Amino acid sequence: MEKFEVNILGCGSALPTTRHQATSQVLNIREKLFMIDCGEGTQVQLRRSRLKFSRLNHIFISHLHGDHCFGLIGLISTFGMLERTADLHIYCHAELERLLSPQLEFFCKGMSFQVIFHPFNPGEKKVIYEDRSLTVETIPLRHRLPTCGFLFREKPTPNHINREMIDFHGVPIWMMNRIKNGEDYVKEDGTVVPNSVLTYPSDPPRSYAYCSDTTFLPRIAEQVKEVTLLFHEATFAESEAVRARQTLHSTAREAAQIAHNASVGQLLIGHFSARYEDEAVLLQEAKEVFPNTLLAYENQRICL
C-alpha cells in the first residue's frame, strides 16, 4: 500500500516545556511531505525525524499564534542555506504574508527558491490543495483568532485487475483502464461479465483530519465523519473545563466526543497544556468516551 504516515514533530501548547515541542506535524503521503503548523524548533525536529527536507513543498498553517508558526522563518532560512530550488507553498491566513515578508526580505535575500503564499479564509470550508491522489480541505474551527483545521483525503483509486479472470474471459488490453475504472466487459456474443468478477476492490481511501486549536465544536463531527485518523487538540482535563471554555480550547473528553460522534477509526490527542507532568489523565478521560484513542508524543510515527 502507498505510504500515508503522520509524523508528530511537536505536540505541546503555547508555553514551551522541556517535555514537549511546539506544534508541528508532517504527513508523508506517497513520499510527498505536507507540514501542518510550524512552531519554534520545528526545523530541528524535522531533522531529527530524518524526513527529507527536499520532499517538503507544502506547509499548512492553522492559525497565527506563535506556537503554530514561529518556526517558519528559521525553516525557510535553512532551506535557503541548503540551496533549495523548488518553490515552497504556504497555505495560511492572509495576514501571515504581511508579517513574514519583511523578515524574508532581510534574512533570506537572494534565496534560490520562491515562497508562495496561498491565503485562505479560515471561516470557510474549501478544498485548498489538490493533486492526482489527494485533496486538502479546510475545517473551520473556533478559537481566539481565525483558525481552521485540515482534512487530508486520498482520492479513490481504481480497482485492481484480477489477472486470471481477465485472461479467462479474454478481455483485450485496450479495455484494461476502463475495467479498472469499473466498467463491465461485454463479450462479442453479448454476454456481460460484471466488473466485480474481473477486479478486486482497491484499498479504501484513507483520510486524516487535524483539528487544533479549537473550542468544543460539535459540528466538526459531520465534516470529519469516518476519517481514518482524527487528531484533535486536548489541551485540558475535565478538571480544567472552565479554563478550556475561557481560552477556547477543548478537553480530552470533548475531543473523544467528536471522535465518537464522527465514528472515526482512531483518535490522536495532543496540544497538551504545560501543567500536565504526564498525560495519563487526558488519555483516560478520552478513552472513557472513545476507547481507540492515542496520546501524541514527539517523534511519533503513525501509519494509516
List residues binding a second copy (CB under 8 A): 14-18, 21, 40-41, 43-44, 47-48, 64-66, 70-71, 73-74, 77-78, 81-82, 95, 98-99, 102-103, 106-107
Q: Is 184 a catalytic residue?
A: no
Nearer to a second copy (CB atom), residue 96 or residue 237: 96
Give 3-state DSSP helix, strand, coil % of the chain, rounded to 5: 30, 30, 40
Closest approach, Cβ 38 to a second copy, in A, equals 11
Longest CA span, the chain: 74
Torsion over CA: 123, 33, 129, 95 (sign): positive
d(CA 157, CA 151): 18
Q: Which is nearer to a second copy, 41 or 270 (CB)?
A: 41
Q: Which of 67, 203, 213, 278 is catalytic?
A: 67
Gyration radius (Cα) of the chain, Å? 22
Please check whether residue 68 is in contact with residue 98, taking contact to mean a CB–CB distance below 8 angstroms.
Answer: no
Q: Beta-carbon neighbour count of residue 131 at 10 Å?
A: 12
User: With respect to a second copy, which residue has the nearer C-beta, 66 or 291?
Assistant: 66
Nearer to a second copy, 105 or 167 (CB): 105
- Residue whose C-alpha cell is 485548498: 128
Rounded to a whole number of angstroms, the distance between the first and last alpha carbons of the chain is 10
Residues catalogued as catalytic = 67
